[in-house]
Amino acid sequence: MKTRTHTICVVRYAGICVALACAAALQAQSPAGAAIPGIARTAAGKPDFSGTYEWPKYLQGAERGRSSATTFDRKNFARLKPGGEPFLEPRTGVPRHDEPRDFCMPAGFPAGMLSANAMQFFQTKDYLVIVHEFQRMTRIIPLDGRPHREGLEPMFYGDSVGHWEGDTLVIETKNFKRWALDDYFYTDPKEFRSHSDELRTVERIRWKNNDTMSYALTVDDPKIFAAQWSQEFEIKARPDWDKTGLFEYICEENNRCPGGKCEGN
């Protein structure tokens, strides 16, 4: 899996990437709901999230996994409900269970969003499109607060709708398949974390300063947890990656290497 490294501090303003020294004024964090001066805005006055970014990363002090992807911190979890124990299940030795992505199965959400690859956001008046380099995961999110669609089959990435609360974009998603929650099984093989088919998520995205977004993710899974719980991450703008863009990601469905082990092939 390709990962990216940090370079210089940059600020995106009106679509122009300007290299700046990392002045203390830029590092000051703004509270939720506060307007951030100088951020790019759309013609309608909404924050413009269009650009190239790192994947969501940990805040200081959060529990970290051993893979390059970001994982959830266990101290944020709500109490498991009786019968919710299958949320934590061990690896079984069956490759399609232990790492279904080896067989070109989707990472799903939220695991795909936390994968350690670049992302691009494309924003219009009506939609935010998030394209993740990993598996070319693409989410098309309406921004007008419309109701969720009805009569859909359960999905790996769910059905997302967005609305604005001031300068914060709120994305609500439901209608999931039961699937992996994150990559923590690379840290502890006894903790293959799976959400249920009743999962609902709420993402809150806002600028903290001119080159950093707050990404707060709330998990509400009434089959597993007694209450909803949340974790905040940070997303760094990387306009220096704009020229390269996202790398092509190809997974071949007829891969003859079970579990990624190509012995005899």
Q: Does the residue 223 lie in any domain?
A: yes
Decide if pLDDT at 25 tops 80: no
Taking a C-beta distance cutoff of 8 angstroms, is the pair 100, 258 a contact? Answer: no
Q: What does the DSSP 8-state code read for residue 250?
A: -
pLDDT score recorded for residue 6: 36
Q: Where are the beta strands (DSSP E) in the chain?
A: 10-13, 16-19, 51-53, 88-89, 119-123, 127-132, 138-142, 159-165, 168-174, 179-180, 192-195, 200-209, 212-220, 229-236
Q: Check which CATH number belongs to the domain holding 112 and give it.
A: 2.40.128.20
Q: Does the residue 55 lie in any domain?
A: yes
Q: Does the residue 4 lie in any domain?
A: no
Decide if pLDDT at 97 tops 50: yes
Strands 88-89 and 51-53, sheet pairing: unpaired
Taking a C-beta distance cutoff of 8 angstroms, is the pair 138, 18 a contact? Answer: no
Supply 263's token pair. Answer: 């012995």
119: domain range? Answer: 10-27+38-246
pLDDT score recorded for residue 38: 81
pLDDT tens track for 211-226: 999 999 999 999 999 9
Number of domains in the chain: 1
Q: Does the residue 3 lie in any domain?
A: no
Supply 235's token pair. Answer: 């997303």
Q: Does the residue 255 lie in any domain?
A: no
- The pLDDT > 90 percentage for the chain reads 69
pLDDT tens track for 27-80: 344 555 567 778 889 999 999 999 999 999 999 999 999 999 999 999 999 999
pLDDT score recorded for residue 36: 78
Q: Does the residue 254 lie in any domain?
A: no
Q: Does the residue 259 lie in any domain?
A: no
Q: Does the residue 147 lie in any domain?
A: yes
